[in-house]
Structure formats: C-alpha cells, structure tokens
Amino acid sequence: MKSESSRLSMRWLYIALCTVCLAFAGVIYAWSILKVPLAEEFGWGNTELALNFTLTMCTFCIGGFLGSRIKEAAGANLTLVCAGLLAGGGFALASLMKGNITMLYISYAVLAGLGIGVAYNVIISSVNAWFPDKRGFCSGCLLMGFGMTSLVFGSLLDSLFANEAFGWRRTFLWFGIIMAAMICLAGFVIRKPSVEIVFPEGKKKKAKKAENFEVVDMSPLQMLSRPSFWISFVYMTCLVAVGNSVISFAKDLALSTGASAALATTLVGVLSACNGLGRILTGALFDAAGRRFTMIAANLLSIVAAGITLLSVVFNSLPICIIGLCLVGMAYGACPTVGSAFASSFYGQKYFATNYSIVNFNLFAASFIATACASLRTATEGFVAPFILLLCLACFALVLNICVRKP
C-alpha cells in the first residue's frame, strides 16, 4: 500500500502529464497556421475558414459544459478516454477531406472541438482537486500549456505541411493520433485524491482590495438570473473577441505588414506564448490587487492592444505589429483568469465547474465576432475596418466593466 507521501507526490505527475495533454489540445488556437494548406489546396476563402474557427469555439464551449456534466455521471477516466478518441478522430477524419468544406466543419469543428472542450474541462477540474493548496499555480500551468500550442508546435507543423513526403494530410492524421493517445493516457492514469490524503497548508494571501460583499454559493440557474452575470458576460465577450479574431488571422496579419512566411509563423507562436504568460500574470495580479482592479486592468490592456495593432496596419509597420500581437496575446490570456475569478468570487465554489463552463460561453459569442471581422476584411480588402470594430468593442467593454456591481 502506498504511503501518504507517495500518493501525494502523484499530483506532480498529473500536472506534468496534463499540461502536455493541454498543449496538444490547444491546437485549436493554431488555426491561422492549420488553415494555410487547406486554403491553398481547396481555394477556400477567409470567410469560409473563419466560420470553421467560429464553429470550433462554439463546440469547444459546448464540450466544456458537457464535460462537467458527463464527469459527474461517468467519472473523469471514461470521460477523458472518450474525449481523446473524439478529438483525435476529428483530426483523422479531416485528413481525408476531398474538397467539401462541410466535412471540415463536421470533422474539425464539431468532433475535434467537442472532444477538446470535454477534455479541457475534465482535466482542469480533476487536477485542481489535487492542489487545494496551490490552485493558482496549478491553473496557471494547465492554462499556460493550453495557450502555448502555437509556440511549441507552430514551426513544426508549418515545416511538415511544406514537406512533400508528409504534407498536411499526414500531419493532421498523426497529430490527431498523438493527441488522442495523450488524452487517453491521462484518462487511464489520473485518479481522484483519497479523502485520507492530508494536503499541505497553503499560504493564505489576503487581496489588497477584497470584495465588499459576502460570497454565496449560487446554482447555475440562480447565476443566470442575476443582472451582474449578463453585464459581465457581454463585457468578457467583447474582450475575448479581440483575441479570438486576431488569433484566427494572426499569420495573415503579420504577412500583410511585411513579415516573411517563417517570421509570420514564429509570431503566431509568440502570440501564443504571450497568451500563456498573460494567464499567469493575471492570476498574480488578482491575488495582489483583487478582482475589480484586475478586470479593469485586463480591459485597458485590450484597448491598448487593439489600438496598437490598428496602428501597425495603418502605418504598415512590422515592429508595431509585433508589439501589438504580444499585447493581444497577453490581453487574451487574461480573459480565462478573469472569468474564473469572476465566477468564484461572485457565485461561490459549490457549483464552480458548471458555472465556469457557462461563463466560458463568451467564447461562443465572441467567435461570431471573429467571423464578422473576417467578412469585413474580405469586403474592405484590409485589416483596418476589423480593428476599428475590435477597438470599439474593447472601449464598450470598459463602460460595462464600470457598471458591474455585486450579485
């Protein structure tokens, strides 16, 4: 029988394994790289390909909600195995496409998006249960892994696409197989912490600006009946839209300002890295300054990011574009941390998994704005109009942010 210290040490294996799993699952954020060979071979336009990204974000949100419910009924292990097979199967099916874009929507957006959404929710909730003393650290590692896929795999995927012996079809197939294997492995390995395990005492940090109301556990229906939820939901949708839209065309944006193909791919990875960094820094800011200050700071960062990236397009400046992409990545990375902090500080921990999955539906709404930006880009033959829209949304979010009051 394992000693308590031996069982407790297993949590470090879980967080390492699951961070790698989420690095593979975060491939949905590398769409600006993945779509390139599809556009070249099938001649699909910006609007059609942006719709795939929109659908993927929608099914990802639905998968996150379903994951929280299925886990309760079937357990984390079986749920993760099914999620891995679904996600990997979606990529494998996409590798067989013959030019019908509906098949892309079904395979990549629906099947892979659902599988990744389920895996994301189950992995984060399962591993967090092993770190009651280090929740911020645990969430930061997992979310960083999910947000840094383009940095880790971007250049590799790009080079494999260009390799005639391999190509995009085999790349999709093998990436799907490896992703499925990693998620299924997590499903076989991860276990719930025993009630006998005594976790170390966490260092309790008191935020400088604590909430001025008592946090009450609210069910999803109670949360949905509060005006505070809907105001914050629209606020977060506007902020997420900035990052979502830029992620969907980041490589094209870099190319339009004079970047080489190799540098453009690298910049997608840099945006991804800043996405992961933003998640960690926002968590630290929340601990130090409180929820309200963090929400406003994230909002101001989004405004600055959209504004600077707009300037890079207007002046056709690659250096300004690089700065803008870094800021967009950090601003986008702040969003899930803000959403998590908002859900827990306003509506408690009892129903957190389900409440947070509902809050994450802002990705669903924001993805339609990404499609609208793609349409604007096509109609105006440039990026100026999309970034004016995103800047206006970020400013509107600040107005809503100021209006958020206690639940």
Tell me: do 103 and 160 sit in the same domain.
yes
Q: Is residue 328 part of a domain?
A: yes
Residues 181 and 235 grouped into a single domain: no
In a domain, 113, yes or no: yes
Q: Does the pLDDT at position 99 exceed 80?
A: yes
Find the domain containing 241 and state its range.
220-403
pLDDT of 359 > 60? The answer is yes
Name the residue with higher pLDDT: 224 or 357: 224
Task: Determine the pLDDT at residue 208.
Answer: 47
Q: Is the pLDDT of residue 356 over 90?
A: no
pLDDT tens digits along 43-63: 888 788 888 988 898 899 899
Contacts 24+ apart (CB under 8 A), 190-196: 190/14, 190/17, 190/18, 190/76, 190/77, 190/80, 190/123, 190/126, 190/127, 191/10, 192/76, 192/126, 192/129, 193/11, 193/129, 193/130, 194/7, 196/4
Amino acid of residue 231? I
309 and 229 share one domain:
yes
336 exposed, middle or buried (CB, 10 Å; 0-12, 13-18, 19+)? buried
Claim to verify: residue 243 and residue 381 sit in the same structural domain:
yes
Whether residues 231 and 374 share a domain: the answer is yes
Same structural domain, 149 and 239: no
Band (81; pLDDT cuts 50, 70, 90): very high
pLDDT at 351: 80
- Answer whether 105's CB lies under 8 Å from 208's CB: no
Nearest to 52 by CA among 13, 12, 110, 114: 110
Residue 350 lies in a domain: yes
**In-domain check, residue 200:** no
Structural domain count, the chain: 2
Count of CB atoms situated within 10 Å of the CB of 310: 19
Of the residues 166, 189, 212, which one is the last residue of a structural domain? 189
Residues 140 and 253 in one domain: no
d(CA 214, CA 209): 14
Query: Considering the chain, what percentage of its residues have pLDDT values greater than 90?
Result: 30
Residue 123 lies in a domain: yes
Average pLDDT, the chain: 84
In a domain, 208, yes or no: no
Cβ within 8 Å of residue 380, ≥6 positions away: none
Does 195 map to a domain?
Answer: no
My answer on whether 48 and 113 are in the same domain is yes
pLDDT digits (tens, 9 = 90+) for 14-23: 888 998 899 8
- Alpha-carbon distance of 174 to 92, in angstroms, equals 8
- The predicted structure's pLDDT at residue 1: 45
- Is residue 6 pLDDT above 70, yes or no? no
Q: 244 and 181 in one domain?
A: no
Cα dihedral 61/63/69/73 (nearest 10): -170
Are residues 154 and 112 part of one domain?
yes
> Rounded CA gap, 57 and 29, in Å?
10
Query: Mean pLDDT over residues 352-362, rounded?
Result: 82
Q: What average pLDDT score do residues 66-94 get?
A: 91
- State the Cα–Cα distance between residues 287 and 207, nearest whole angstrom: 5
Write down the pLDDT at residue 163.
85
* Cβ atoms of residues 238 and 400 within 8 Å: yes
In percent, the amount of the chain with pLDDT more than 70 equals: 91
Side-chain-facing half-sphere of 311: CA atoms under 13 Å: 11
> What are the angstrom distances between the C-alpha of 260 and each of 227, 266, 297?
47, 10, 33
CA–CA separation, 326 and 278 (whole Å): 10
Residue 301: its pLDDT value, please?
A: 93
- Cβ atoms within 10 Å, residue 203: 7
**Domain co-membership, 134 together with 279:** no
What single-letter DSSP state applies at residue 198? -
Is 215 a domain residue?
no
Computed from CA positions of residues 396, 269, 266, 28, in that sequence, does the dihedral angle turn out positive or negative? Answer: negative
Tell me the per-residue pLDDT of 250-290, one tens digit each, with 9 for 90 and over.
888 999 988 888 888 888 878 878 887 887 788 777 767 77
Residue type, 399: V
CATH code, 14: 1.20.1250.20
Tokens coding 88? 């990997």
CB-CB neighbours of 367 under 10 Å: 27
Q: Give the separation between CA 116 and CA 30, rounded to whole angstroms.
A: 14
Surface-to-core class of residue 399, CB atoms within 10 Å of its CB (0-12 exposed, 13-18 middle, 19+ buried): exposed
Say yes or no: 172 and 230 in one domain: no
In this prediction, residue 407 carries a pLDDT of 62
Model confidence pLDDT, tens digit, residues 286-330: 767 777 888 889 899 999 999 999 999 999 999 999 999 999 989
As a whole number of angstroms, the distance between CA 375 and CA 248 comes to 12
pLDDT, tens digit, 9 for 90 and up, residues 127-176: 878 877 776 677 777 877 887 776 778 778 888 888 888 899 999 999 99
pLDDT band per the 50, 70, 90 thresholds, residue 212: low
**Residue range 168-197: mean pLDDT, rounded:** 89
Nearest to 40 by CA among 369, 243, 261, 246: 261
